[in-house]
Amino acid sequence: MAGSGLPVPRFVSLKSDKVNVRAGPAKEQEVAWVYSRAALPVEVTAEFENWRRIRDWEGAEGWVYHSLLSGRRTALVSPQSKGKDEFLALHAKPDTASAVAAKLQHGVLGTVKRCQNGWCRLIGEGFDGWIEQTRLWGVYPEEKVE
């Protein structure tokens, strides 16, 4: 029953753009749904042998085979926020007083390069800068990412 030995819960990302999520930790279990977005952050909430129970930002949970997951850290920009038309500032430095490098919409996906002192460096298509850690789904509030 040994899993990976890594901490649970933890954040990982989907390795490919077709990931089957099953009702239980076995190939015989029915496919509950399929993710079609590579690099989407998901939270590992349990392990059973080579299977990982994952939860997405909407709270949906299911089982995926470990090889479909990547240790690459990604995050979604405030996917839960109601104000869909407001943008979140991505700063040049980890400081609200620094220049705004980009304005990101809710739900934008980026790669987390590092997190420190409540800020994360987020890189994506056409943007690279720092955002407040609490604005991301895919990292824990006080987590350090190097």
Q: Which residue has the tokens 């980009």?
A: 102
User: Is residue 53 helix, strand or coil?
Assistant: strand
Residue type, 15: K
Strand ranges in 71-118 using DSSP code E only, listed in sequence order: 74-77, 88-91, 100-104, 109-116
In order of 12, 30, 38, the CA distances from 125 in angstroms are: 20, 35, 14
pTM: predicted TM-score of the whole model, two decimal places: 0.93
pLDDT tens digit string along 110-133? 999 999 999 999 999 999 999 999
In order of 50, 75, 112, 120, 133, the CA distances from 123 in angstroms are: 30, 10, 7, 10, 14
Residue type, 23: A
28-41: average pLDDT: 97
Query: 83 pLDDT band (50/70/90 cuts)?
Result: low
Query: 2 pLDDT band (50/70/90 cuts)?
Result: low
Query: 86 pLDDT band (50/70/90 cuts)?
Result: confident
Question: So what's the pLDDT on residue 134?
Answer: 95
Average pLDDT, the chain: 94
Question: So what's the pLDDT on residue 79?
Answer: 82
Cβ density class 43-70: b for 16+ within 10 Å, e for less: bbeebeeebbbbebbeeeebbbbeebbe
User: Is residue 67 helix, strand or coil?
Assistant: helix
Verify cis geometry, omega within 30 degrees of 0, for the bond prior to 9.
yes
Q: What percent of the chain has pLDDT over 70?
A: 96
